[in-house]
């Protein structure tokens, strides 16, 4: 077979690397006469295993499927749900479990790896799982739901393995309602990727998220309950922990059985031996991905597997490309905490210098490893805040261009590398895309957006950690080419949100019709309508349910309540500063009992009631409003709550009245609409019981007054707030917070939270301090006025709604059947309350009945 005609190609395995190989062949549309058959044993299209934990957040398997257009190529055949059982190298055929015989001229083994489980007694018990495939995730989800219903209580889960996948699995079990313990044989979490300092910092963060961590421990035996399912785990330390569900995430082993049985060379530690061309000991057989052993190592990462796929695709058509492994990075995701590392994490390079910044208050740990002259980047570790990872990892082995300590400085410091990185720097290691290729996508292939560049180069389409740097390069390249980078909010408004805000304010516009007539086109869309609604609300243009505003609102704002998974709504009254009277507590309890609502204390020191039908909302809120309560705006892009500790009023360590300040701030900013929801925390001393630095605005008491921090976030991408001003008196504190929120509302992009807004602010926190605290631009009075106008014009949205019959007409389940409600709502009892019934459970249509059946003997 000539190099330009690989003939019949068979790939055994249909994972991410096989998909990459098929895509690479497809791109060679004019080269050679070839046919490709890909055979996989999972009954699914090849899917993104990197984001497997997304299935626990509600995504389905179809959402993880990799680009399906690959399989539309007539030269490519995909076979799923069939396991290849035999490889006959003499006959050049593979045979599947169903008897299908597939001949080949070229065979590519992409069989991946399997989840290894240590020898532990009881691993065959029901309730014990691995964490590797979609089927594993589905099995864990189904077991958790069924077992919790059988036991009538929340589950206790144990994850064996404290690596990246183990921590993701622990977060997933938490998401399923289980209290979770991580058991790790090594002395720290992510022991391969993190040094001692990083491992300890990660332990603190994981523990703070409610996961118990036991290191230097191994699982030695699993015990069973009376019904035979797993119930306990005995550890090597002598301890026994409860375990209703167990997930093993203790590493992987290459799937090399097929290669072994056919006589191919196997590495000492397993895996199919390959050289730099990825060819095996049989010239007609190649191996790529986790099953391939190169220089004695099998790598369980997608990036080297994709590189191997590219190499084989090149080799098959006579290309010169060979495999040279590059130092890889690892980033923890989907676990509620940030951790990442790359390169020489442990400083093992001769003469290596380590520059470390550990901040126990902010709970962050950063380390950069550099050469002995402090110029060349050798590695990095980031825990608690991994924002530098995406920008620094591509510079591995290159000059940093600044003092290493400047990158780690908590404020100011050297800026992270941007769009000017050299062409040969690999920006996306997963898809092996260089900065030069990104720039070529713009200059040679006409891409004008990040999305188009991702589609063209595949950069940023796997783990996504490179997207921030990718965006900077694309923007810089477009601007260098003289191409105006579109800042349009959508097709109806050619300007970004901040510019539109200024135009609406200056023009005194009061309705969407006026705004679109003056500055837009068309009739608006789902992007611009909520943005305009938020701007109008921020500028005091009237109640959100006024006829001109109601149609603009998102689903939640449309009925002043948060939509829940079963179609009911939540009711969350405001509890300023977490302070509430016994009388109001009684009313909340009575309302919840009467309407059969599920109740819980929220993380924002409020009481949430769940399960209210849309037609019940006015009656519920009438009771609450009559008792002196008002909307907590849990549904809006606005202030959610101000969390506070008891402060000097009660605590022996408190130095300021944190409750009083919390109440003052919450009553001042209640109902203030913003580009995104925001939260405030007020701590009465440096012990930080209100977790203020994890909030958009954090206030911490000092002996001299108050320190104010901004840009924190406890959400999907946790970030600690940065110090804006210190030792302020009460009134000056309020003024600084006023100005911060007003400036954010005026200039932030749509749906941009304060954390990225602060991080991206030109000049950083120092410039923000000059603008807001020192009033360097002379806009302080304007910012003060925006908040003052809001305070003067504030009216509780639910009280106003209850006083308007026209607004109340929208609160009915069916427009054509007033008084009727959804007959499919069904509930079951759990821990003395009613919750939505799951498929197959005994259910009642009345939540009060469901709850009563459990608590009455």
Q: Which residues are annotated as a binding site for [4Fe-4S] cluster?
A: 645, 651, 685, 689
Please say whether the beta carbons of 87 and 75 come within 8 A.
no
In the sheet with 607-612, reading across from the earlier edge strand, the strands are 562-563, 569-571, 607-612, 598-601
Tokens found for residue 446: 């006409």
Picking from 420, 444, 381, 418, the residue whose alpha carbon sits closest to that of residue 201 is 381
Please say whether the beta carbons of 843 and 828 come within 8 A.
yes
Report how far residue 498's alpha carbon sits from residue 747's, in angstroms, rounded to the nearest whole number. 4
Task: Report the 10 Å Cβ neighbour count for 238.
Answer: 8
Tokens found for residue 108: 């590519």
Report how far residue 638's alpha carbon sits from residue 358's, in angstroms, rounded to the nearest whole number. 33
Q: Write out the E strands in 539-606.
A: 562-563, 569-571, 598-601
Annotated binding-site positions: 645, 651, 685, 689
Report how far residue 38's alpha carbon sits from residue 736's, in angstroms, rounded to the nearest whole number. 62
Tell how strand 697-702 and strand 639-644 pair up: unpaired
Picking from 310, 315, 341, 289, the residue whose alpha carbon sits closest to that of residue 433 is 310
**What's 363's DSSP letter?**
T
Main-chain dihedrals φ then ψ at residue 852, nearest 5 degrees: -65, -40
Contacts of 641 (CB under 8 A, 6+ apart): 574, 575, 578, 602, 604, 605, 606, 632, 666, 679, 680
Distances (CA, A) of 495 to 491, 521, 541, 676: 10, 12, 21, 19
**Within 13 Å of residue 79, how many CA atoms lie on the same side as its CB?**
20
Report how far residue 142's alpha carbon sits from residue 150's, in angstroms, rounded to the nearest whole number. 12
Dihedral sign, CA of 367, 371, 372, 375? negative
Could you tell me which residues are beta bridge partners of residue 79? 39
Please say whether the beta carbons of 594 and 609 come within 8 A.
no
Contacts of 265 (CB under 8 A, 6+ apart): 272, 273, 280, 281
Between the two ends of the chain, the Cα-to-Cα distance in Å is: 79
Main-chain dihedrals φ then ψ at residue 684, nearest 5 degrees: -80, -5
Report helix, strand or coil for 272.
Answer: strand
Distances (CA, A) of 660 to 648, 649, 656: 10, 9, 9
Report helix, strand or coil for 646.
Answer: coil
Distances (CA, A) of 316 to 5, 21, 189, 277: 8, 11, 42, 10
Report helix, strand or coil for 207.
Answer: helix
Contacts of 388 (CB under 8 A, 6+ apart): 366, 380, 382, 407, 416
Report helix, strand or coil for 253.
Answer: strand
Q: For the stretch 713-743, what's the b/e string if a residue is b when 16 or more beta carbons lie within 10 angstroms of its beta carbon?
A: bbeeebbbbbbbbeebeeeebbbbbbbbbbb
**What's 749's DSSP letter?**
P
Judged by phi (left if over 0) then psi (alpha if -120 to 50, else beta), residue 308 lies in alpha
Report helix, strand or coil for 114.
Answer: strand
Annotated binding-site positions for siroheme: 689
């Amino acid at each position: 077979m000539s190099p330009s005609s690989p003939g019949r190609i068979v790939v055994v395995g249909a994972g991410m690397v096989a998909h990459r190989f098929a895509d690479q062949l497809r791109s060679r549309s004019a080269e050679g006469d070839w046919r490709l058959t890909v055979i996989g044993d999972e009954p699914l299209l090849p899917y993104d295993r990197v984001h497997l934990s997304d299935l626990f957040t509600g995504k389905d398997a179809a959402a993880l499927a990799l680009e399906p257009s690959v399989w539309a190529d007539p030269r490519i055949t995909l076979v799923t749900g069939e396991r290849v059982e035999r490889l006959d190298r003499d006959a050049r055929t593979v045979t599947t479990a169903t008897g299908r015989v597939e001949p080949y001229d070229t065979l590519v083994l992409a069989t991946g790896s399997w989840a290894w489980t240590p020898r532990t007694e009881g691993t065959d018990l029901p309730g014990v799982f691995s964490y590797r495939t979609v089927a594993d995730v589905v099995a864990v989800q189904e077991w958790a739901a069924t077992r919790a219903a059988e036991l009538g209580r929340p589950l206790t889960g144990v994850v064996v393995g404290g690596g990246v996948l183990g921590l993701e699995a622990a977060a997933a079990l938490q998401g399923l309602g289980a209290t979770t313990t991580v058991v790790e044989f090594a002395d720290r979490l992510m022991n391969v990727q993190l040094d001692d300092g990083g491992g300890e910092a990660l332990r603190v963060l994981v523990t703070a998220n409610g996961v118990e961590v036991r290191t230097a421990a191994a699982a030695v035996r699993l015990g069973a309950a009376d019904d035979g399912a797993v119930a306990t785990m005995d550890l090597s330390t002598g301890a026994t922990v409860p375990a209703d569900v167990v997930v093993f995430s203790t590493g992987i082993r290459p799937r090399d059985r097929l290669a072994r049985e056919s006589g191919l060379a196997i590495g000492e530690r397993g895996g199919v031996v390959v050289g730099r061309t990825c060819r095996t000991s049989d010239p007609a057989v190649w191996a790529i991905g986790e099953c391939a052993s190169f220089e004695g190592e099998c790598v369980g990462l997608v990036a080297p597997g994709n590189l191997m796929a590219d190499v084989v695709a090149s080799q098959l058509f006579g290309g010169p490309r060979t495999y040279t492994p590059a130092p890889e990075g690892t980033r923890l995701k989907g676990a509620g905490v940030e951790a990442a590392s790359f390169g020489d994490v442990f400083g093992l390079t001769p003469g290596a210098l380590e520059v470390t910044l550990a901040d126990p208050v902010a709970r962050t740990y950063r380390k950069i490893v550099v050469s002995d002259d402090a110029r060349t980047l050798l590695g990095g570790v980031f825990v608690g805040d991994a924002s530098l990872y995406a920008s620094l990892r591509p510079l591995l082995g290159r000059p940093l261009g600044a003092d290493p300590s400047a990158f780690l400085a908590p404020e100011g410091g050297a800026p992270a590398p941007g769009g000017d990185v050299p062409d040969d720097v690999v920006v996306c290691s997963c898809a092996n895309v260089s900065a030069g290729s990104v720039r070529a996508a713009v200059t040679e292939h006409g891409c004008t957006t990040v999305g188009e560049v991702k589609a063209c180069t595949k950069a940023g389409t796997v783990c996504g950690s490179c997207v921030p740097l990718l965006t900077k390069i694309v923007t810089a390249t477009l601007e260098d080419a003289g191409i105006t980078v579109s800042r349009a909010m959508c097709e109806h408004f050619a300007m970004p949100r901040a510019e539109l805000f200024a135009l609406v304010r200056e023009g005194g516009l009061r309705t969407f019709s006026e705004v679109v007539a003056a500055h837009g086109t068309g009739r608006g869309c789902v992007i611009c309508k909520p943005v305009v609604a938020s701007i109008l609300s921020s500028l005091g243009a009237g109640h959100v349910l006024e006829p001109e505003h109601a149609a603009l609102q998102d689903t939640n704002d449309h009925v002043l309540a948060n939509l829940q998974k079963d179609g009911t709504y939540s009711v969350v009254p405001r509890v300023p500063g977490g302070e509430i009277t016994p009388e109001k507590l009684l009313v909340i309890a009575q309302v919840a009992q009467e309407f059969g609502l599920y109740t819980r204390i929220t993380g924002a020191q409020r009481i949430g009631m769940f399960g209210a039908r849309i037609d019940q909302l006015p009656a519920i809120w009438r009771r609450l409003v009559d008792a002196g309560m008002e909307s907590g705006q849990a549904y809006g892009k606005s202030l959610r709550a101000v969390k506070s500790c008891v402060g000097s009023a009660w605590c022996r360590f408190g130095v300021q009245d944190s409750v009083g300040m919390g109440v003052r701030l919450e009553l001042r900013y209640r109902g203030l609409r913003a580009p995104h929801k925001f939260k405030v925390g007020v701590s009465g001393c440096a012990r930080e019981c209100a977790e203020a630095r994890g909030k958009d605005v954090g206030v911490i008491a000092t002996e001299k007054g108050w320190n104010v921090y901004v840009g924190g976030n406890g959400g999907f991408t946790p970030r600690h707030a940065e110090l804006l001003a210190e030792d302020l008196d009460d009134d000056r504190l309020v003024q600084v917070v006023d100005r911060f929120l007003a400036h954010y509302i005026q200039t932030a992009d749509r749906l941009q939270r304060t954390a990225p807004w602060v991080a991206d602010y030109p000049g950083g926190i120092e410039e923000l301090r000059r603008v807001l605290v020192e009033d360097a631009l002379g806009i302080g009075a304007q910012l003060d006025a925006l908040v003052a106008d809001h305070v003067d014009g504030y009216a509780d949205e639910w009280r106003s709604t209850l006083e308007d019959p026209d607004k109340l007409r929208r609160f009915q389940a069916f427009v054509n059947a007033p008084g009727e409600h959804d007959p499919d709502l069904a509930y079951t009892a759990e821990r003395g309350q009613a919750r939505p019934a799951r498929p197959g459970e005994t259910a009642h249509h009345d939540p009060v009945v469901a709850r009563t059946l459990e608590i009455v003997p």
